[in-house]
Amino acid sequence: MFKIEKNKAILPMPPRINSKFGLGKHGKFFLNADHKEYKNSIKGIHLENRFQVKPKEGDVSITIVFYRKMKRGDIDGPLKLLLDSLQGVYYNNDSQIYEMHVFNKTDGQWPRCEILVEFLE
């Protein structure tokens, strides 16, 4: 269902941002389980597809197309979790992203995000 190529991937949509953090007993914030699970699943999908690339140094250009069930919510909501989840896969830190293009489309049958990562010289 989800597939990986050299610098392209079709991945599941990130969970909603509204539930990203929980508040612990001592007033400290923590990453909720569904967000941790998403980050781990992205790495797992890449491993399942035998995607073995060392994260690169230097500037990165990334194109992201979100296919949502319905065109609701902000386009930047799922963005941060997706970019964080790709750290250690394509790049070491999302601060390496020099250029980014994000598109918001609708597909009620198969919500997903498609990414293209290019390494700039």
Task: Encode pLDDT of 36-74 as tens digits.
Answer: 888 888 877 777 766 666 788 899 999 999 999 987 778
Q: Which amino acid type is present at position 121?
A: E
Whether the pLDDT of residue 103 is over 60: the answer is yes
- CATH numbers and ranges of domains, the chain: 3-119 (3.30.1330.70)
Q: Return the pLDDT at 66.
A: 94
Please tell me the pTM assigned to this model: 0.80
Q: Mean of the pLDDT values across residues 80-84?
A: 90
User: Could you tell me which of 100, 85, 79 has the C-alpha nearest to residue 46?
Assistant: 85
Dist. CA 84–CA 94, nearest whole Å: 7
